[in-house]
Amino acid sequence: MNDALELLKSRRSIRKYKDQPVEEEKIQKCLEAASWAPSASNKQPWEFLIVTDKQVRKKLSETHPYAKFVAQSPVVFIPLTNPEVHQKYHMSDTALATLQYMIEAHSLGLGTCWAGVIGSSIELEIRKLLGIPDHLNVLGLVATGYADEKPTKTRKELDSLIHYEKY
Ligand SMILES: Cc1cc2nc3c(=O)[nH]c(=O)nc-3n(C[C@H](O)[C@H](O)[C@H](O)COP(=O)(O)O)c2cc1C
C-alpha cells in the first residue's frame, strides 16, 4: 500500500489474534517507526517495553478490564512516557510514537489495539508487574499480532468537524 490515506483508513483495532508468532524484524521496524515520531523540542520523552512471555501477557490481561486480548496477541508493546524529559508534552509525544508504531505494524500486515492505561488505577499494578521505575508512566498496552478478525468502523462526518477561517 503506497497511499498514506488508504493506509490510515484501513487500519482497525484488532481484538482477536491468530496463534502465529510475529517476526522479530517486523517488531524492530515498528519500534524504529515509533522512535521517528515528532516530539516537542525533539526531546523524545519516551521509552518502549516489549512483552512476549505468555504468562506475563496473561497477568497483564488480568490487570485491565478492556484489554483481555493482550493474553492472545503474541506481542505487547508498552509505550512509557518520561515527564522528566518533557513535563508538558510527554504524553502527546509518546502518543504520536505509539501511533507510528501502529501504522508501521499495519503496513507490515500486523494488527494492533491500544488499550489506555495512563492515569488509571491499574497503572501501578502494571508498573509493579513489569518492574517499571516510578519516574515513567505507562501510556497503554498495545496488542500486536496477526489479525483473526476484520472489524469495520465508521467516523463522524468530516463536514461536521471542520471549520474554515473562523469557528
Ligand atoms: C487512548 C486509547 C485508549 C483505548 N483503549 C482501549 C481499550 O481499553 N480497549 C479496547 O478494546 N480498545 C481501546 N482503544 C481502541 C479504540 O476503541 C478504537 O481505536 C476506536 O474504537 C476506533 O476504532 P479503530 O481503531 O478500529 O479505528 C483505545 C484507543 C485509544 C486511542
Quick one: average pLDDT of 74-98? 98
pLDDT at 91: 98
Assess whether the C-beta atom of 16 lies below 6 angstroms from ligand 1. no
Grid coordinates of 4:
498514506
Assess whether the C-beta atom of 15 lies below 6 angstroms from ligand 1. yes
Alpha helix (H) ranges present in the chain?
A: 4-10, 24-35, 54-63, 90-107, 122-130
Indicate the average pLDDT of the chain: 97
Q: For residue 131, is pLDDT > 90?
A: yes
Ligand 1 atom 12: the closest Cα is on which residue? Answer: 115
Assess whether the C-beta atom of 114 lies below 6 angstroms from ligand 1. yes
135: exposed, middle or buried (C-beta count within 10 Å: 0-12, 13-18, 19+)? exposed
> Looking at the DSSP assignment, which residues form a beta bridge with residue 114?
142
Q: For residue 2, is pLDDT > 90?
A: no
Quick one: average pLDDT of 29-45? 98
Domains of the chain are 22-75+90-130 (3.40.109.10)
pLDDT at 43: 98
The answer to whether the pTM exceeds 0.85 is yes
- Coil, strand or helix at 42: helix
Q: For residue 18, is pLDDT > 80?
A: yes
